[in-house]
Structure 1
């Protein structure tokens, strides 16, 4: 069993390529280190990655790490401190030496679905706010199939409220609004965000990545997103569940 925290607590920070370009399907990186918990099952640490780890309500990407004479199947990516550990199964060849150049390839279809779902989640945040006529915080979220959901600090849901949420979300998708990604400092944050939930839980850091759906909301977020709401497709509200804390909304896109 690999103690990931002890191993990676002083590791070099992984460059997260998806933060600036969610559409990257492949890239070249260097293998910095690895640790195997059983033959052919290894955690790979690279200098850069296109694989989004399981974090921020988004599931881990999967795909391939390949090189001269070897091929790994990436089954999950985990964020440990500032490094990403790619848990991988050796399919061909032998574990390469540290410093080897590797080719990264995403499983694009599930990644693109995650991008559409995550952007749909931001749209739903706004639609819920409009339907309730007040600021509504999110309590928990999972932007991943087969059970994507957002839990809101809201109650007293009615059929009319659900219809208003769906109507507003559909309008935003059909208006084909641009989705912008930009970075701001702590000092700039308050003037660049709007209609953003959960700000009281936002940690203090030197800079923030903002995902803005033009005219809808601008939210601190490290997830992957589409560049236009039209790409989201049709948002479907599958079911609603009342919880101890509020309301859990299950949704999908097609």
Structure 2
């Protein structure tokens, strides 16, 4: 299935998780549904499911309706439209039909905690290195969370300080909030954030602001307070071609 063709002429999906990442269930209207053998592609008017991208793995969950269930395998974003792909049980839902959307909350909550932990670690590295450390890539979710940074890897002693400082921020119960800003406001708000030069031009930007820590342009899902992250464990550091990967974990509840 060519999902680029599937989204032609369709308005961007309303992304409910941007303003409420704790929303576990919703009702949405089917815009498009296309069956492919035992699987199905579904586009909704609005969605609680974060797609794969921006350093996050895909959300998972379930669609339920009269005469069908769909177990989600992945969610993709194409030109602002979310395409939900899953295994179909029963009949194919039709355009205009309302369906119940149920999020795999255990997975989402882990991703939220890991993603916010990643932002905290960005700050801890900045403190240890004495400068902003640009990121090259990340996976803030299962199976193994990591952020790849540019530059020389930290020493074992520095790793210990990074973990200690990150967990101090967790225990400080710092508020985490989302704000939207223009590009001019962005440059003032995030002067210490990594990778600002690589941001695409847009009318507005969503910032994830951790109180007294950092403000980073991000479309991901995060916890409301750093205490929800739980203890951060830096598992290992691995040298890469352009820098290093810092692998980390939080406790699974």
Mean alpha-carbon deviation: is it higher for 159-168 or for 2-11? 2-11
Residue 20 of structure 1 corresponds to: 19
The CA deviation at 1:156 is 4.6
Following the alignment from structure 1 to structure 2, what is the Cα–Cα distance between the partners of residues 106 and 51?
Answer: 7
Contact 2:153 2:243 (8 Å CA) reproduced: no
**Which residue of 236, 243, 246 maps to 1:246?**
243
Give structure 1 stretches of 5+ with no counterpart.
Answer: none
TM-score, normalised by the number of residues in structure 1: 0.96
Matched residues in 2 for 1:96 and 1:159: separation?
Answer: 55
Q: Which secondary structure state, in structure 2, belongs to the residue aligned with residue 115 of structure 1?
A: helix
Q: Judge conservation of contact 1:209–1:222 (CA < 8 Å) in 2.
A: yes
Structure 1 residue 194 displacement after superposition? 4.6
* TM-score, normalisation: structure 2: 0.97
Preserved CA contact (<8 Å) 1:239 1:250: yes
- For the pair 1:66 / 2:64, whether they are aligned, the reply is yes
Could you tell me which residue of structure 2 aligns to residue 143 of structure 1? 140
Superposition RMSD on alpha carbons, in Å?
A: 1.0
User: CA offsets, 1:101-152, max 9 Å, x none?
Assistant: 0111001001000000000000000001111111110111001122110011
Question: How many pairs does the alignment contain?
Answer: 251
CA contact (8 A) 2:33 2:94 kept: no
1:78 aligned to 2:71? no
Runs of 4+ in structure 1 deviating by more than 2 angstroms, as ranges, are: 191-195
Tell me which residue corresponds to 2:32. Answer: 33
Structure 1 residues 31-73: Cα deviation after superposition (integer angstroms, max 9, x where no partner): 00011221x3110000000000001010001111111222111
What is the 5 A alignment of 1:151-170? 151-170=148-167
Distance 1:146 1:97, change over 3 A: closer
Aligned partner of 2:222 among 208, 220, 225: 225
The 1:156–1:102 alpha-carbon spacing in structure 2 relative to 1, beyond 3 Å, is closer
Is the contact made by 1:174 and 1:230 (CA closer than 8 Å) also made in structure 2?
Answer: yes
